[in-house]
Amino acid sequence: MPVRSREATVRVKGQTRPVKERLLHVATRLFARHGFEGTSVQDIVDAAGVTKGAMYHYYDSKDDLLYEVYHQLLTMQISHLEEIAAGAGSPEQRLRAAAADVVKTSLDNLDDMIVFFRSLHLLPEDKQAQVRSERRYYHDRFRALVDEGVAAGTFRGDVPPDIVVHYFLSVVNQLGSWFHPDGSLSATQVGQLFTDLLIGGLRA
Amino acid sequence: MPVRSREATVRVKGQTRPVKERLLHVATRLFARHGFEGTSVQDIVDAAGVTKGAMYHYYDSKDDLLYEVYHQLLTMQISHLEEIAAGAGSPEQRLRAAAADVVKTSLDNLDDMIVFFRSLHLLPEDKQAQVRSERRYYHDRFRALVDEGVAAGTFRGDVPPDIVVHYFLSVVNQLGSWFHPDGSLSATQVGQLFTDLLIGGLRA
DNA sequence: ACGTTTACACCGACCGGACGGTATGCGGAC
DNA sequence: GTCCGCATACCGTCCGGTCGGTGTAAACGT
């Protein structure tokens, strides 16, 4: 489905983003504020300055909109992780980079994270399976970095790497429930601190 | 609200628990499986073998039922933590005990945890504030243990204790999203491993 | 150059049904 | 007889999704 040239970019309150993109953006925001079920399709289209016809023209359903939230973020984070994992440096250096990155990108997309950990179960089973598959891929790729460090003797070998990954990704998935962008710590700082705590716990 | 003596304990599929208790139990289970909004009041009363009249006799609303889930678990965990914190042992020993306990009790009440981190935002604002207040109390009490360890020089002082607590409680809150009771690790083992990872990260 | 057709982007009234909650009734224990 | 512990029937609302329609810009024919 290529981007259509005739796509309208109606001006609403100074915004010029195409309708499809704007719908996803305001939907994410509303889902994060009021929950998926607490947000009606009417709320979404009102906030985007269009009508239901527009939304059902671009998306198959309300669920479809939710799925896009997950898919976009996961796709980005996976590509980041692959680049880091394939890069140079010791296992510890690459794990540090990966950990700091996933915290940073999650905090940069806080609304997505909030929706993520709250509303996955509301997706129809097939789309839910798709998301879980992508998450599992991320998990496995992350674990491979831990495996490397264990093999190299840098990390302790008495904690199953799967458990380590669950441990750290849990921290990431909960970021939306306490972090405030205007707090005393920046996204990068939090990433650094959490990375330190992880690596410290992993040291042989 | 004292327990009524004339409370009926209708036998349904061999269960003999009083209706009020049974309603909360099946509701928790259904909320965990299908989400709060994906579970209708009709589903709950059907599963409990009663009718709506019974449920609205014991609870004010569907929300009320949800609140009870949070309140029960938090009350128990708070009392555990207070006992541990006031007990004997070094800060590290008590923090270890507290960390292992919160993991264990959370895994023993997995359904509650699943509902917990998914559906808090669906409560009306006043009850939500009540829950947050209880959680904050738990958070502060937990942090006090970290503070003690930092003051004693056992733990590193370059990571804000609040961040440490967010870090570890995030892990706890996400347990419901990956742990399976029939997996290769028991609740106690997971508690032990996570505690090790935490303490390792905290060492001065 | 100009009328005509096509196709897309979006509108907005409408529908079917599910769901939370209520009002009333009734049977059995004391 | 009266009061508690439910059962049963019902209501009003809200919400996801649909469907025929409309304006407009590109494509085409001549």
Q: Of A167, A197, A203, which is closest to B194 when you measure between CB atoms? A: A167
Summarised one tens digit per residue, pLDDT across range B88-119 is 999 999 999 999 999 999 999 999 999 988 99
Q: Just give the CATH number of B63-202.
A: 1.10.357.10
Q: Enumerate the domain spans of chain A.
A: 19-59, 63-202
Contact B143, B60 (CB under 8 A): no
* Positions of chain D reached by protein Cβ under 7 A: 4-10, 14-21, 25-26
Search chain B and give the residue with CA nearest A193.
B159
Q: Of A122, A190, A203, which is closest to B200 when you measure between CB atoms? A: A203
What rounded mean pLDDT belongs to chain B? Answer: 92
Q: Helix or strand or coil: residue A12?
A: strand
For residue B148, what are its two tokens? 């003690």
Q: Which residue is nearest to nucleotide C19 (CA to C1')?
A: B40
DSSP secondary structure code for residue A203 in this structure? B
For residue A191, give every residue at least 6 positions away whose Cβ sits within 8 Å of its Cβ, in sequence order, or none.
Answer: A99, A100, A101, A103, A104, A107
Residue A197 has pLDDT above 50, yes or no: yes
Print burial letters for B155-193: b (CB count within 10 Å at least 16), e (below 16). Answer: bbeebbbbbbbbbbbbbbbbbbbbbeeeeebebeebbbb
The average pLDDT across A13-23 equals 76
Summarised one tens digit per residue, pLDDT across range A100-150 is 999 999 999 999 999 988 999 999 999 999 999 999 999 999 999 999 999
Instruction: Could you please state the CATH topology (level 3) that the domain comprising B1-59 is classified under.
Output: Arc Repressor Mutant, subunit A (1.10.10)
Report the alpha-carbon distance of residue A103 to residue A89 in Å, rounded.
20
Whether B171 sits inside 8 A of A175 (CB atoms) is no
Class for domain A19-59, per CATH?
mainly alpha
Q: What is the pLDDT of residue B204?
A: 85
Sole residue written with tokens 């589903």: B43
Whether B170 sits inside 8 A of A171 (CB atoms) is yes
Interface of B with A (CB under 8 A): 34-35, 37-38, 117-118, 121-122, 156, 158-160, 163-164, 166-167, 169-171, 173-175, 177-178, 185, 190, 193-194, 196-203
> Dihedral, CA atoms, B25, B30, B35, B38, nearest 10 degrees?
-130
Q: Which residue is nearest to nucleotide D4 (CA to C1')?
A: B6
pLDDT band at A16 (very low <50, low <70, confident <90, very high): low
Sole residue written with tokens 């707090």: A183
Contact A193, A179 (CB under 8 A): no
Report the alpha-carbon distance of residue A68 to residue A25 in Å, rounded.
10
Residue A6 has pLDDT above 60, yes or no: no
